[in-house]
Amino acid sequence: MPELAPYAAGESTSLGRIFAEPPPKSRSEFQRDRDRIVHSTAFRRLEYKTQVFVNHEGDLFRTRLTHSIEVAQIARAVARALRVNDDLTEAIAFAHDLGHTPFGHAGQDALNECMKDHGGFEHNLQSLRTVDQLEEHYGAFNGLNLTYETREGILKHCSPGNARLLGEIGRRFLEDRRPSLEAQICNFADEIGYNNHDVDDGLRSGLITLDQLASVSLFARHQAEVLAAFPGIAGRRMIHETIRRMIDAQVTDLLGETLRRISAAGVGTIEDVRKTATLVGFSAPMQKENRALKTFLHENLYRHYQVLRMTNKARRIIIDLFSAFMSDPRLLPPQYQQKARGDDPPQKAEHDPKARAVADYIAGMTDRYAMKEHRRLFAVGEI
Ligand code: MG
């Protein structure tokens, strides 16, 4: 492996773990983080959580798990090309969606609404909460006890109020500092991943069409390239050839622009990275094309009536579950009843342990578990 760039995150500059542990014997600290994430329960749940399409709508659509794997692939490729820490990058990418509720953004919005008088719900914060507190795998501590750098990368956004509650890990949001390049790379890999795979899934579902995509320059110019290189190509093969070129163009642009910014800012260390404006990014022309693609997906896929029917139903499931558990916490499984009473350490700091325990329980559900739980609580015919 080539030597890391001086501004890469490294073990020698790491701010370490909350609970001190002996160093790993045969792998790096960041590899250990990644491995702990892969072995976590929350990671396996991603398999049955909606990205855009609900899991049972089709076997070939992206789930949160396959999305996270694609994000990790893109992020790791970018990290290697920039000579920064690809183990850390991969760890952040695998963990970046761990806090997502069932049913994608519709689920998160519904849960946030339910929690508005109890501190709110934000999937990004929940991802950190999952690795810091909710996973129950180790004898010595709650959570996965990950390094500061992985946790910093997971916490992508944070309100000033939550940043103050979080202490050290939230400080950069109050001090206008940035996370490592590895974390910045994951944000863009996430965006490159979902914009492109949503085109693929959107076409597969028939909710968007090739005719509509002719108005999206990033798609249209690469499709023209494919048709010129392979006359007569059509169907899935043409779509895949086009989307791989779109991803490649975005990654190549990202690398060029990021290297340009790193050199223009004279960045030499990870401390420089943290105090400089965001370094990872697209060039202005690619930013424009990327924005047009996002707008297209918002207008034509995420707000398609068939998707809205699903999100509307998802909302009702989340709201019903929340109100049932809040009005009678005895309906919760025993370990969550205990959390709801505020007996457990993660709940002790909460001003409303009952609401937080209910939110943790619901957020941890897969799509199909949430539907089953809803049936168990509300389907009168199934007593
Ligand atoms: Mg994501």
Give the Å distance between the CA of 234 and the centre of ligand 1. 30
pLDDT of residue 343: 79
pLDDT of residue 2: 67
pLDDT at residue 349 tops 70 = no
Give the Å distance between the CA of 153 and the centre of ligand 1. 13
Is residue 229 very low, low, confident or very high in pLDDT (cuts 50, 70, 90)? very high
Give the Å distance between the CA of 230 and the centre of ligand 1. 33
pLDDT of residue 381: 73
**How many whole angstroms separate alpha carbon 97 and alpha carbon 336?**
22
pLDDT of residue 380: 82
Q: Return the residue matching tokens 């960045």.
A: 267
pLDDT at residue 85 tops 90 = yes
pLDDT at residue 1 tops 60 = no
pLDDT of residue 74: 98
Give the Å distance between the CA of 63 and the centre of ligand 1. 10
pLDDT at residue 372 tops 80 = yes
Give the Å distance between the CA of 20 and the centre of ligand 1. 30
State the average pLDDT over residues 223-229: 98
Angle between helices 353-364 and 305-327 (to 10 degrees): 140
Backbone angles phi, psi at 157, to 5 degrees: -125, 160
Give the Å distance between the CA of 85 and the centre of ligand 1. 20
Q: Give exposure, 100-133, as e/b (b: 16+ Cβ within 10 Å).
A: bbbbbbbbbbbbbebbeebbbbbbbbbbbbbbbb
pLDDT of residue 346: 64
The full DSSP string for 201-264 is HHHHHTSS-HHHHTT-HHHHHHHHHHHHHSTT--HHHHHHHHHHHHHHHHHHHHHHHHHHHHHH
Mean pLDDT over each residue of the chain, to the nearest integer = 94
Q: What percent of the chain has pLDDT over 90?
A: 87
What residues sit around ligand 1, an ion, with C-beta below 5 angstroms? 97, 190
State the average pLDDT over residues 333-357: 84
Sequence ranges of the domains in the chain: 25-306
pLDDT of residue 348: 59
pLDDT of residue 383: 60
State the average pLDDT over residues 144-173: 94
pLDDT of residue 358: 97
Give the Å distance between the CA of 276 and the centre of ligand 1. 25
Task: Let me know if domain 25-306 sits in CATH 1.10.3210.10.
Answer: yes
pLDDT at residue 214 tops 60 = yes
Give the Å distance between the CA of 47 and the centre of ligand 1. 13
Give the Å distance between the CA of 22 and the centre of ligand 1. 32
Give the Å distance between the CA of 64 and the centre of ligand 1. 7
pLDDT of residue 262: 98
Express each pLDDT in 123-132 by its tens digit: 999 999 999 9
State the average pLDDT over residues 112-120: 95
Is residue 52 very low, low, confident or very high in pLDDT (cuts 50, 70, 90)? confident
Window from 52-56, 275-279, 333-337 with minimum mean pLDDT? 52-56
Give the Å distance between the CA of 337 and the centre of ligand 1. 31
pLDDT of residue 344: 73
Give the Å distance between the CA of 69 and the centre of ligand 1. 10
Please say whether the beta carbons of 62 and 52 come within 8 A: yes
Give the Å distance between the CA of 329 and the centre of ligand 1. 32
pLDDT of residue 51: 80
Window from 8-12, 157-161, 217-221 with minimum mean pLDDT? 157-161
Give the Å distance between the CA of 380 and the centre of ligand 1. 37
Give the Å distance between the CA of 108 and the centre of ligand 1. 13
Is residue 59 very low, low, confident or very high in pLDDT (cuts 50, 70, 90)? confident
Give the Å distance between the CA of 70 and the centre of ligand 1. 10
Alpha-helix residue ranges (DSSP H) falling in 60-177: 64-81, 86-95, 104-114, 123-129, 148-154, 160-166, 171-175
Is residue 188 very low, low, confident or very high in pLDDT (cuts 50, 70, 90)? very high
pLDDT of residue 246: 98
State the average pLDDT over residues 94-114: 95
Backbone angles phi, psi at 87, to 5 degrees: -70, -45
Is residue 50 very low, low, confident or very high in pLDDT (cuts 50, 70, 90)? confident
Q: What is the pTM of this model?
A: 0.95
Is residue 351 very low, low, confident or very high in pLDDT (cuts 50, 70, 90)? confident
Give the Å distance between the CA of 348 and the centre of ligand 1. 30
Give the Å distance between the CA of 191 and the centre of ligand 1. 7
Give the Å distance between the CA of 113 and the centre of ligand 1. 21
Give the Å distance between the CA of 42 and the centre of ligand 1. 14
**Number of other CB atoms surrounding residue 274 within 10 Å:** 16
